[in-house]
Amino acid sequence: MNTLTLIRPDDWHLHLRDGAMLRAVLPETTRHFGRAIIMPNLVPPVATGAQAAEYRDRIMAAKPLNSKFQPLMTLYLTEETDVRDLRAGAEIGLISAVKLYPAGATTNSASGVADFTKVKRVLENMAQIGLPLCVHGEVTDPQVDIFDREAVFIDRVLDPIRRDVPGLRVVMEHITTRDAADYVREADDNLAATITTHHLVINRNHILVGGIKPHYYCLPVAKREEHRRALVAAATSGDASFFLGTDSAPHLDSAKLQPCGCAGCFTATNTLSILAEVFEAEGALDRLEGFTSRHGPGFYRLPLNSDTVTLTKGEPVAYPTAIDTPDGPVTVFDPGMPLHWRVTE
């Protein structure tokens, strides 16, 4: 098989930032993706309907001409989130999901939730109207080892929330462990998970062996190989609970290559080529479309995209090593393997 036509993919977890960075990275996503769930962790965060509407306008203004790309906006859940504002945003189709960052879990998460009892009423309203909650699933307890923070989050936070607010629809985002894949697989239809491109490719050795590799540092941090294998198994299984959320998270190289560098892998540019390579290696190319294009709209109760993309297999594709912005380069994720599939239409 040398060509592969897929319903146009969507990205169910994407960081676009703002200003010059937004303008520089947006074409990398709009080239291939129909829609994306846009993360609200700007500074200050996108926390109200009005802020989401303004951010959506800035994204639409930065979009390449002729692109039909649709940003799906999210609100950043804080202990002050206003139920009426949220419901109004959901009703007019402005808000597609709400994002929960435990306070301090990752980049720009200082306004996140510290006391979960304070958001219970918001979560109950979301359950009523079927609005999904996207969760960054890591505890922030300094006593918990960084490699255990996702598994501990399931027991201490996610499972209690789901019991406490029956019917709440949850996306556990960018899962990195066998524990999370098992938990999602065994749960009911109200729980799904996104998996990133980079977590299908790297394990923690890639970050640390032979010198530290800041461009492989992201949150949740990549785990042991057995966990990566569990993610590949989940993504290629055909189970509709698992779908693509790249978590493509651009940072200037000057911010990553620091004694305290920030977290994020920028994968918008080469994601589809990488995924085709990963799925082909598993003998699962026939399941790629489910992962990239069908399962996500299924969970979000949206129509499938009406057009397609075609990938063609040939000589290895040369992607740029970095995207230029006026403030400096953003390094493109290096999958460390030749990529033979390119998007041709």
Residues that bind ligand DOR (CB under 6 A): 15, 41, 106-107, 136, 218-219, 247, 249, 263-264
In the bound state with ligand DOR, the residue whose beta carbon lies nearer, of 9 and 250, is: 250
Peptide bond into 220 cis (omega under 30): yes
Considering the candidates 11, 179, 247, 253, report the single residue annotated as catalytic: 247
In the bound state with Zn ion, the residue whose beta carbon lies nearer, of 9 and 250, is: 250
Shortest Å distance, C-beta 101 to ligand DOR: 8
User: Is 141 one of the annotated active-site residues of the chain?
Assistant: no
Q: Which amino acid is located at 32 in the chain? A: H
Shortest Å distance, C-beta 136 to Zn ion: 7
Instruction: Round to the nearest angstrom and report the end-to-end CA distance of the chain.
Output: 17
Shortest Å distance, C-beta 263 to ligand DOR: 4
Taking every pair of C-alpha atoms in the chain, what is the biggest distance, in angstroms? 55
In the bound state with ligand DOR, the residue whose beta carbon lies nearer, of 191 and 249, is: 249
Part in contact with Zn ion (CB under 5 A); list of ranges 85-93, 243-251, 252-260, 283-291 = 243-251
Please state the φ and ψ torsions of residue 174, each to the nearest 5 degrees: 35, 60
Part in contact with Zn ion (CB under 5 A); list of ranges 89-97, 117-125, 245-253, 267-275 = 245-253
Shortest Å distance, C-beta 308 to Zn ion: 27
Size of the site for Zn ion (CB under 5 A): 1
Quote the CA–CA distance of 76 and 119 in Å, as a whole number: 12
In the bound state with ligand DOR, the residue whose beta carbon lies nearer, of 107 and 125, is: 107
Part in contact with Zn ion (CB under 5 A); list of ranges 68-76, 206-214, 234-242, 246-254 = 246-254
Part in contact with Zn ion (CB under 5 A); list of ranges 90-98, 184-192, 226-234, 247-255 = 247-255
Q: Outline where the chain has alpha helix (H).
A: 19-30, 49-62, 83-91, 120-129, 149-153, 159-164, 178-186, 204-208, 225-235, 253-256, 271-281, 288-289, 295-300
Give the DSSP letter string of 99-122.
EE-BTTSSTT-TTSBS-GGGGHHH
Pick one of Zn ion, ligand DOR, none as the site partner of residue 234 (Cβ within 5 to 8 A by kind): none
Pick one of Zn ion, ligand DOR, none as the site partner of residue 241 (Cβ within 5 to 8 A by kind): none
Distances (CA, A) of 166 to 90, 99, 252, 326, 338: 20, 18, 41, 47, 46
In the bound state with ligand DOR, the residue whose beta carbon lies nearer, of 150 and 277, is: 150
In the bound state with Zn ion, the residue whose beta carbon lies nearer, of 112 and 342, is: 112
Quote the CA–CA distance of 283 and 277 in Å, as a whole number: 10
Q: Which two tokens stand for residue 165?
A: 């607010």
Can you tell me which of 10, 179, 247, 253 binds Zn ion, judged by CB under 5 A?
247
Using CB atoms, what's the residue nearest to Zn ion? 247
Shortest Å distance, C-beta 173 to ligand DOR: 8
Shortest Å distance, C-beta 292 to ligand DOR: 20
Pick one of Zn ion, ligand DOR, none as the site partner of residue 198 (Cβ within 5 to 8 A by kind): none
Quote the CA–CA distance of 289 and 308 in Å, as a whole number: 10
Quote the CA–CA distance of 8 and 223 in Å, as a whole number: 30
Q: What is the 3-state secondary structure (H, E, C) of 192-256?
A: EEEECCHHHCCCHHHHHCCCCCHHHCCCCCCCCHHHHHHHHHHHCCCCCCEEECCCECCCCHHHH
Q: Among all residues, which ones are annotated catalytic? A: 247
**By the criterion CB under 5 A, which residues form the site for Zn ion?**
247
